Chains A and B, each alone.
Chain A
C-alpha cells in the first residue's frame, strides 16, 4: 500500500482483454490521467455509405473506457483481469456519427460506493468539445462480487 503511487499499466490489462484487442483499443497513460484510443479500422464500420462507426462499437468503447478508468483508480494493487469491474447498466447517448478515424475516450468516476461505482464516459474524435457519444453506467466492483 505504501507503493500506491507505482504506475499501474492499464494498457497491459486492456491488451489482455481479447475483445478490446479485437476493436483496437489502447490506453494512453500520462501521469495520473488516462485516455483510451479506439484505433480506426475498417471492421469497426456500421454504415459503409456515410461511412460511420458501428453504434455498438462506440458503446463497447465507452464501456471499455469506463472499465479502464475504474481499473486505473481502484485496481492498482491487482492487475489481474479477474478483478475487472462488471457492468450492471449502461446508457449511451449517440450525439454525432462516428467518422472513420481514431476516437478518444475519457471517463470520470462520479461516485464510488462499496459495491457499485457510477461512471460517466465520453468519446470524441478531432474536437473534444464535440463528443460523438457519452455514456453513464453502473459497475459492480469485484471485491463485492463474492456475495
Chain B
C-alpha cells in the first residue's frame, strides 16, 4: 500500500495481463488507460458492432455493463495486496443518459473497501467529463472465488511481471 501510483511499466503489464488475456475485453477494444491503488480507468472506443439501437447509433447498455464489470474487477485487483481469483457477486447499474454516438466510452472505478471475503466497488461511465456520467454502478466481488488463477500466466509473462513488481517494490521501499 506504500505505492499509491503505478509506473507506466506496471500499467503496461496490467494491459497485457488484465486485458490481453480476457477475450471479451479484447473483442470490444477495452484498454486500461490509467491506474492507481484500488482505482482504474478503462476505455472502449466507439464501434459499429457495439450499437444497441441501429436507428440512433447509440451504444448498447450491455457494452457499458461489460466495461464497468471489467473495470470494477480491475479496481479490486488493484486494491488487493496480491493477485487472487475474484468473482462478481452483484453489479447494479444506473443508466443516466444514452451514450453519444461516435464517442468512445471511459470508465473510472474505485474499490473503496476490502474485507476478508468481499470487495466493494463503485464506478462511473462517461465520455470525457466524469461529472456528466452516462452510467453509475456499485458492485461487490467475492475474493478467492476459485482455486484456479484468473489469468493464464505463461512462464515468460510471469517472469516479466515479477521483475516489474520487484522493481516497483524496490522503488517504493
Interface residues of A (CB under 8 A from B): 16-23, 42-50, 54-57, 59-61, 63-64, 80-82, 84, 86-94, 97
Contacts and interface: CB of A to CB of B under 8 A. Distances in A.
14 contacts: A18-B50, A18-B52, A42-B23, A45-B22, A46-B22, A48-B21, A54-B23, A55-B70, A56-B62, A63-B61, A81-B53, A90-B65, A90-B93, A92-B90
Nearest to A17: B52
Nearest to B56: A82
A63 B54 CA distance: 17
B49 A49 contact: no
A18 B49 contact: yes
Interface residues on B, range: 35 or more
A45 B24 contact: yes
Contacts of B148: 49-50
Contacts of B23: 42-46, 48, 54
Given A81-B55, A90-B93, A64 B152 contact: no
B91 A91 contact: yes
B55 A59 contact: no
A21 B49 CA distance: 8
Query: Chain B interface secondary structure, helix, strand, loop or mixed?
Result: mixed
B136 to A, nearest CB: 10
Given A56-B68, A80-B55, A17 B60 contact: yes
Interface centre among A21, A63, A86, A94 (most CB of B within 10 A): A94
Nearest to A44: B24
Contacts of B50: 18-19, 22
B162 interface: no
Interface in B114-173: 146, 148-152
Interface centre among A44, A48, A55, A89 (most CB of B within 10 A): A55
Contacts of A90: 61, 65, 92-93, 95
Contacts of A55: 66, 69-70, 73, 88, 91
Given A47-B150, A56-B65, A86-B98, A19 B24 contact: no
Contact of B92 (A44, A46, A89): A89
A57 B93 CA distance: 14
Contacts of B66: 54-57, 59-60
Contact of A49 (B52, B94, B98, B152): B152
